[in-house]
Structures are given as structure tokens and as C-alpha cells.
Amino acid sequence: MKDYYYFLGIPHDASDEDIKKAYRKLSLKYHPDKNENDDFFADRFREIQEAYETLSDKARRYSYDQNLESQQKSFRYTVPPSIKTFSANKIHAKKGEEIIVTWQTQNADVVKVLPFGLEKAYGERIFKITEFKDGKFQILLHATNSLLHKTAVQGITITEVFESDTEKFKEKAEELFRSQPRTAANPHGQPKIMKIMVAVGLLILALYFLIKSFGH
């Protein structure tokens, strides 16, 4: 059973006003229109809406609180949370490369995968690393048993792979011959190599006339 209070980041005795404020703040943050319709944000947005619709209705909230309490009592809260599996398909990657992370937890009612946020007890997340910090990108799995106040944590560190000098040279060489966007200065979208060749040609002509003038 989902903990709607946790989804909204509010205590179980939160007032109606607290619920509204939390919903407004989170719905703006996770709205799909502001996050390029990313599936992760769309899922979080639906959960936030679901939580608000339940907790803002007094009758539904009372029924939900009763069911949540009953579930928490029947849950195996005497057993601490654990992480069965937590792995990535690669631990060395370049910027923009796709990474697949999978996990499975036990005896945890709140599961977070950082930096992404709340997740299910088991699942898979596909993403691309856009920035590394000091050549590393860390992913943390938190599995929490909220009644025991215990959390199991496990991390994965992805190390950045830098392009070799050969790959860099190849990329720069390809860039020289690649067609450029059409602009006022470059109406035909000519590759950069054309500009360089023209510049070299003009330089040779200038040197030729300079040498010729000295000859006279």
C-alpha cells in the first residue's frame, strides 16, 4: 500500500492547508509539461495527484488512514529492510551513454533511488548521464522500514570514460568536413574545411605578391 503522506512529504497529522501547499509545490515540480514528458516525472505526477485526491477528501482520508494502519501492523516490521540486488549494466561510461539500473528490496515500505527519487520495491531505470562530478556519477538505493526506523543503503559508482586522442582527432576531422547550418555568412552551409582552404589560398596569394614585390 502506498504511503501518500510520504509522497507529499507531510506528516500523518498534516492539516488540509498543509496538504494543499505540498500538492501545489510538487505538482509544479513534477508536471510532465515541464519535464519533456519524461516517464519518470509523469509517474511521480500521477502518484502526487492520487495522494492529493485521497487525502483532501475527509471520508477517503479516514478510510485510507485505517487501511494504512492495518497494513503497517500486519507488515513484517520486526524484520529489518534489505537489498537483494542492485546493479548497473555498466560501471564505465561516456557522457550521454545509456545506463540501465535494476534493484530488488525486501521488508521496505519506502524505497528511493537517488538522484531519481521514490521508486517501487523492485524495478528498472534507464537514463543517460549528462554530467559527471570529478569523473564519477553515484547512484544510491535507500530501502527503509519506516516503523523500525531502519534503512539499508547501497551505492553504485559509474566512472567516466574519456575519449582517446585518436577518437578526438577523428571527431574533429569529421567536424571539418561536416555541412554547417545555413547562415547569412554561410548561405550554402559549406563545411569548415572550405573556409580553411579559402583562407590558405588567400595567404598563399598574399605571400606570392609580397615576394614578387620584394623581387622588384
What pLDDT sits at residue 177? Answer: 66
**Can you give the pLDDT at residue 183?**
67
Cell of 129: 548521464
First to last CA, the chain: 95
pTM: 0.47
Q: Enumerate domains of the chain plus CATH numbers.
A: 4-74 (1.10.287.110), 82-160 (2.60.40), 165-215 (no CATH)
Determine the Cα angle at 169 with ends 166 and 172, to 5°: 150
Whether omega for the bond prior to residue 181 falls within 30 degrees of 0, making it cis, is no
At 80 the pLDDT is 87
pLDDT in tens, the chain (216 residues): 678 888 888 888 889 999 999 999 988 888 877 767 677 778 888 888 999 999 999 999 999 888 887 776 665 557 788 999 999 998 888 888 889 999 999 888 888 898 888 888 888 888 888 888 888 899 999 998 877 788 999 999 999 887 655 555 566 666 666 666 666 666 666 666 677 777 787 888 878 777 777 665
DSSP for the chain reads: ---HHHHHT--TT--HHHHHHHHHHHHHHH-GGGTTT-HHHHHHHHHHHHHHHHHTSHHHHHHHHHHHHHHHHHS-TTSPPEEEEEEES-SEE-TT-EEEEEEEEES-SEEEEETTEEE-SEEEEEEE----BTTEEEEEEEEEETTTTEEEEEEEEEEE-PPPHHHHHHHHHHHHHSPPPP-SS-TT---HHHHHHHHHHHHHHHHHHHHHHHH-
Do 147 and 110 touch, CB atoms closer than 8 A? no
Q: Nine-digit cell at 172?
A: 574533429
CB 111 within 8 A of CB 119: yes
